[in-house]
Chains A and B, each alone.
Chain A
Amino acid sequence: KAGVTQTPRYLIKTRGQQVTLSCSPISGHRSVSWYQQTPGQGLQFLFEYFSETQRNKGNFPGRFSGRQFSNSRSEMNVSTLELGDSALYLCASSFITDLGGEQYFGPGTRLTVT
């Protein structure tokens, strides 16, 4: 089975711009979660999508948004970029049931805001 793929791998943007990151989950996985990783804060949960619905949202401003399509692919968008948004953005997919589920991560998108 192919793993989680994320595009692009690297991105450089300017303050005030917006950016869209893409994630393709493992085939059969309907849950997609997004995380932000920075040296200072570590890995922080952004949001989770399941069957095209946002199921959970982390403590991030409204500039961070996402969506999931019917094929489970997901995108996240950050508007009005700030320098502090520079980070590794990780997507994880899982086959979740009420009994549990394991998250498998993609390689991440490295976003640099200048």
Chain B
Amino acid sequence: TQLLEQSPQFLSIQEGENLTVYCNSSSVFSSLQWYRQEPGEGPVLLVTVVTGGEVKKLKRLTFQFGDARKDSSLHITAAQPGDTGLYLCAGALYGTSYGKLTFGQGTILTVHP
């Protein structure tokens, strides 16, 4: 059983479309992070959310942390081919070290020109 359920697993869209990726859990997280990973490289941190209900924006990317700190979403507006990659959500379970992250399965996003 996956502690952090991420969906969808695959997403193939056209340039200019909007999309949302979801991460859901029955467990509470102290913080949740979103990463983007290119083939053969390590994940690159996009954002960290720590407060229930928090919304953070990074250019065309909007991140939300659920009120109960059990879920999160990543919304991309007007996707571009450069957004193509593997998106990962990861959280530190409440009561555990911030150095021990639980990862979702990842979403492979392909944006076609």
CA of A42 to CA of B90 in the docked complex: distance in angstroms? 11
Contacts of B71-113 to chain A: CB distance below 8 A = 88, 90, 92, 96-106
Residue contact A103 to B103, C-beta cutoff 8 Å: no
Interface window among B20-28, B38-46, B56-64: B38-46
Asked if residues B42 and A45 are in contact (CB atoms below 8 Å), the reply is no
Chain A contact-residue range equals 20 to 34
Q: Decide: A45 near B96, CB < 8 A? Known: A100-B30, A103-B33, A108-B41.
A: no
Q: Is the CB of A105 within 8 A of B43?
A: yes
Interface magnitude class on chain B: 20 to 34
Which A residues lie within 8 Å of B96 (CB)?
A: 56
Contacts of A15-48 to chain B: CB distance below 8 A:
31-33, 35, 42-45, 48
The answer to whether A96 touches B45, judged by C-beta atoms less than 8 angstroms apart, is no
For B103, list chain A residues within 8 Å (CB): 35, 42-44
11 CB-based A-B contacts, threshold 8 Å: A43-B88, A48-B97, A55-B97, A94-B98, A96-B99, A100-B92, A102-B45, A102-B48, A103-B33, A103-B45, A103-B101
